[in-house]
Amino acid sequence: MSGLSTPSAASSAHNLDTRLHLFTPLQVGALELKHRIVMAPLTRMRANRPGNEPSALNALYYTQRASEGGLIIAEASQVVPEGQGMPATPGIHTDAQQAGWQLVTDGVHARGGRIFLQLWHVGRISHSSHQPEGGAPVAPSAIAAVGNALTADFTPAPFEVPRALSLSDIEQLKKAYVAAGRRAIAAGFDGVEIHSANGYLLEQFMISRINERTDRYGGSLANRMRLPLEIAELLAADLGANRVGIRLSPFGVANDSGETDPLTLYREITKELNLLKLAYLHLIEPRASGAGQRDVDHQNVPSGCATLRPFWDQALITAGNFNAQRAEQTVAAGEADAIAFGRYFISNPDLPQRIKNDVPFTPYDRPTFYGGGTEGYTNYAAFGG
C-alpha cells in the first residue's frame, strides 16, 4: 500500500497489540460495531444559511469518514431555533434540515458505517443575533456566562444575560427534544446522542452556581439533574433506549461550566442514567475540556472514564486527546469500551485504518475548523490515496 514504510519488529508488535482491543467487535445498543474507534461530534459551522440545513458538502465530509462497522456521532444540532449559539450550525427541527441530514446518513450507510445525531441546545451560550426576533438567550436562571459569544456574523461579543425558562417553556422544550429525535430517526440516523456537556443548556441545569431556581428544577441535586434525566427517559421511551446515548463532561470547565462538587454530581447522574439502559454513555475527559476553542491538555485532573465506569453497565465511550497507544491502553484496562477521536478525525478521514496500520496522523489545521468551504473540511486525503 502506498505511503507505508516497512515497520520494525517493535512496530509490528505494537500493531498486534492495538488490534487486540481497538479492532474487536462491540455491541452499542442495537448496533454491532466492527471496531472501537468512534468519530466524535464536531461543530464545523458549514450548514447552509439561512435555514441551517446540511448540504451535499456536509454529506461528503461524513461519507469520507465512514468505515465499515464504525460509529460516527454527527455534530451538535439544535432542536429548536432558540437552541442555536453559533453561526451556520445545523438544526433538526425543520423538514429541510431533515432532508439535508438524509443525504448524510445515506452516504455513511452506503459505506457500511453507523451514525448517531447529537441533539443540542446551547442555552445561555448564545447571543441575541441567533435568537428569533433578536430575543435574549434562555437558561435555567438569568445569569450571564463569562466570556464571548460568536455572533451570527462570526464576530465575538460578550455573553448576554439570559432569560430564565418558565415551567411552561421547559415542558415545550422536552417535547422539542422528542420531536427532534423522531426527525433524526426519520432522516436515517441509527440513534441520537443527548448533549448534556460542555456548559450547554442541560449541563447548565445541573450546575449549582448557574442554576438558582427554586422550583422542581433547581436547588437540590435531584432537582438539578431532573431535566436531563427526563429528556433521556422521554427519548428512550419514544425511540427505544438502544437508540439513545448521552454525553457528559465530568470535571469540565468549558463555556464557563464547572460544579463545586463534580464527583458527587456526575456519579449520581451516571447512576440514574444507568437505570434507563441507554445505548451508551459518552464522556469528555477533563484533560480535554475546552479543546474546541484551543489546544489544551489539562494536567493533574482525574480520569472521567475510570471514575464513572463502576456506575455504568452499558457501552462507555470516552474522548479527549487520545492517541492510538493511549486509546488501546484505556480499552484494554476496561475503563472504556470505545474511544472517540475529534480533531484528528478532521484531518484523517481514514483514521481507523491509519491506527490499524500504524500510519502517522496528518496534522489538523485549526484556523479551518469553523466556517468556510472545502479547505480543511473535505480536502484531506486518505493515506493510500
496534522: which residue's cell?
Answer: 363
| Rg of the chain in Å (alpha carbons) | 20
CATH of domain 14-338: 3.20.20.70
Residue 219's pLDDT is what? Answer: 98
Look at residue 385 and tell me whether its pLDDT is greater than 80.
Answer: no
Asked if residue 185 has pLDDT above 70, the reply is yes
Average pLDDT for 3-11? 32
- How far apart are alpha carbons 51 and 273 in whole angstroms? 34
Give yes or no for residue 7 having a pLDDT over 80.
no
Q: What mean pLDDT do residues 130-150 have?
A: 97
- Pick the catalytic residue from 200, 217, 280, 377: 200
Confidence of residue 313 (pLDDT cuts 50, 70, 90): very high
Residue 383 is predicted with a pLDDT of 87
Question: What average pLDDT does this structure show over 272-296?
Answer: 78
Q: Does residue 8 surpass a pLDDT of 80?
A: no
Indicate if the pLDDT at residue 128 is higher than 50.
yes
Residue 18 has pLDDT above 90, yes or no: no
pLDDT class of 13 with cuts at 50, 70, 90: very low
Alpha carbon 323 to chain centroid, angstroms: 18
**If you average pLDDT over residues 207-220, what whole number do you get?**
98
- Characterize the bridge pairing of strands 138-139 and 163-164: parallel
200 is annotated as an active-site residue: yes
Q: What is the pTM of this model?
A: 0.93
**Are 161 and 219 contacting, i.e. CB atoms less than 8 angstroms apart?**
no
pLDDT of residue 135 exceeding 70: yes
Helix (H) or strand (E) holding 356: helix 351-356
**The three three-digit cell numbers of residue 201, written as one number:** 443548556
- Exposed, middle or buried, 83 (CB in 10 Å: 0-12/13-18/19+)? buried
Neighbours of 154 (CB within 10 A): 12
